[in-house]
Amino acid sequence: MTDFPGKGKVAVLKTTPETVLEDVEKVMRLAGVENSLPKNVRTGLKINISWQTWYPACSSTPWQIEGAILALKKAGYTDLVGVHNDTVVVDTADGERNNKHRFVTDKHAVPCLYLYNQDFEWVEYQPKRPFLVLDKVYPQGVFIPKTLVGMNMIQLPTVKTHVFTTITGAMKNAFGGLLHRNRHWTHAVIHDTLVDLLMIQQDIHPGLFALMDGTFAGDGAGPRAMHWHEKNILLASADQVAIDAVSARLQGFDPLGIRFIRQAHEMGLGIGDPSQIEILGYDIEQEQPWGFVQEDTFASRGQKLIYHGPLKPFEKILLQSPLVPWSYFASNFYHNVYWYPFVGRRRVEEALKTPWGRLFKNYGDGQVAMPGMQPKTVTQAAVGLTVLAAAAAGLAYILTRKKKS
C-alpha cells in the first residue's frame, strides 16, 4: 500500500481565459502542491505534445504551462525544467513551437530536457515490487532516463479520450517520458504498462503531482482526431489515479470500468473509486453530463487487429521488425495528410473564434500554424505507400509459405 500526501484528493475549479493563470495557482494550492513536492530538488514539468500541429485539447496548453511555472516560482520552487519526449509520429521541435510551449518556457527562462537526445543516459530500473508486464515486454531490461531519478515531476495532461485507453490523463502522460522509442511494443498491454509506470514514478520521484487542463476537452478518436468542447475546467492532484478517475467521471465513463484505473486502485497506488475521492473546490455534481464517447480511427482499428485480433500472430513481424515503419506511415498519413487538412483544419478555425482560441492565438507572435497538403506530407505519403506495399508483399509471402508448409 502506497501512502502519500494528497492521496484520494482532487482539486477542481472552473476558470475563464481572463483568470486562468490565477486559477491554475489556486487549484494547485488547493490540491496541496507544497505538501506533495519538496523544494530542495529539481522539479520537472512533463509537457504533453500529442501532435506537432495545434488542435484543441490535444496537447498541454500554453496557459497550463505558464500558470504552473508562475505558481511554482511564487511558492519558492527555483529549479524548474520542462521535460519533453519524442514519438515516432510527432516532431517535438515543431510541436513545442506550434503549440506555443517554447514561447512560454523561453519567456520564463525555464530550460527544457529533450529525452530523445543522445546525451541522456538510460539506466536499467530494478523494481521494488514485481512488474505486471514490462519485464515481459522488455526481457533484456527496463531502461529509464537517469536524469529523471530524484526529480519531482508534474504531469501536464489535458482532458480527452484515447483510442487505446478510453481516456488519457496523468498516468498516460508518463508513458513518453519513462520509456524509449520502442514503447509502442507495450500497446497490446497498455493498461498494465501504465500501472507499472506509476509504480516506477512513485519510486524514483521524491514528489509527484498533476495539473490537468480541461479548458478545451476532447472526445472521439483521441488523442488527436477529436471533437473539441469548451469545458472551462482545471483539475489538480498529487494522486495520479484519482485525478484520472475524476476526469473519466466528468467525461461520462465509469472510472473503475477502465482497466488501468481499476488496477492501480486495487494495488493501492491511488484512489480510483469516485465514492472514496474527496473533491475540493468546484462541486462536479453541478456539471451537466458531458456524454463523451471513445471512437477509433482507421489506423487504430488496424492496430487493434494486431494487438487483440486475427493479426496477433504477426505482431512481432509487423511492429518489432524492419517492417514497423508501415504503422508510423498509417498514423502519419491518416492524421497529417487526410484528417487535419480535410477535417481538423475547419474545426481549428471554429475553435479560434472562441475565447480560449483567441487566448491561444495571442500567445507568442499571434500566428497559428494550420498546415494543409504540404509538400513534406505528400512526400511522406509517397514514401509510406512504398513501405506499406513492401510490408503487404512480405506478409503475403509469409502467409503463402505457411499454407504450403
Q: Where are the domains of the chain?
A: 9-298, 299-404
What is the model's pLDDT at position 374?
A: 54
Tens-digit pLDDT profile for residues 26-65: 999 999 999 999 999 999 999 999 999 999 999 999 999 9
Tens-digit pLDDT profile for residues 72-85: 999 999 999 999 98
pTM: 0.89
User: Three cell numbers at 99?
Assistant: 503549440
Q: Mean pLDDT over residues 62-70, rounded?
A: 98
What is the model's pLDDT at position 390?
A: 65
**H or E stretch covering 98:** helix 92-98
Give the count of beta carbons closer than 10 Å to the beta carbon of residue 297: 20
- The amino acid that residue 279 corresponds to is I
User: Three cell numbers at 125?
Assistant: 530500473
- The amino acid that residue 78 corresponds to is T
CB of 380 closer than 8 Å to CB of 339: no
pLDDT of 9 strictly over 50:
yes
Q: What's the CA gap between 196 and 201, in Å, rounded?
A: 9
What is the model's pLDDT at position 173?
A: 95
Confidence of residue 97 (pLDDT cuts 50, 70, 90): very high
CATH of 9-298 among 1.20.120, 3.40.50, 1.25.40, 1.10.600: 3.40.50
What is the model's pLDDT at position 268?
A: 97
Q: Nearest to residue 330, comparing CAs of 310, 294, 305?
A: 305
95 vs 324 pLDDT, higher one: 95
User: Quick one: 252 exposed, middle or buried, by C-beta within 10 A (0-12, 13-18, 19+)?
Assistant: middle
CB of 243 closer than 8 Å to CB of 212: yes
- The amino acid that residue 57 corresponds to is A
Q: Nearest to residue 102, comparing CAs of 138, 54, 153?
A: 54
CB of 243 closer than 8 Å to CB of 169: yes
Q: Mean pLDDT over residues 199-216, rounded?
A: 98
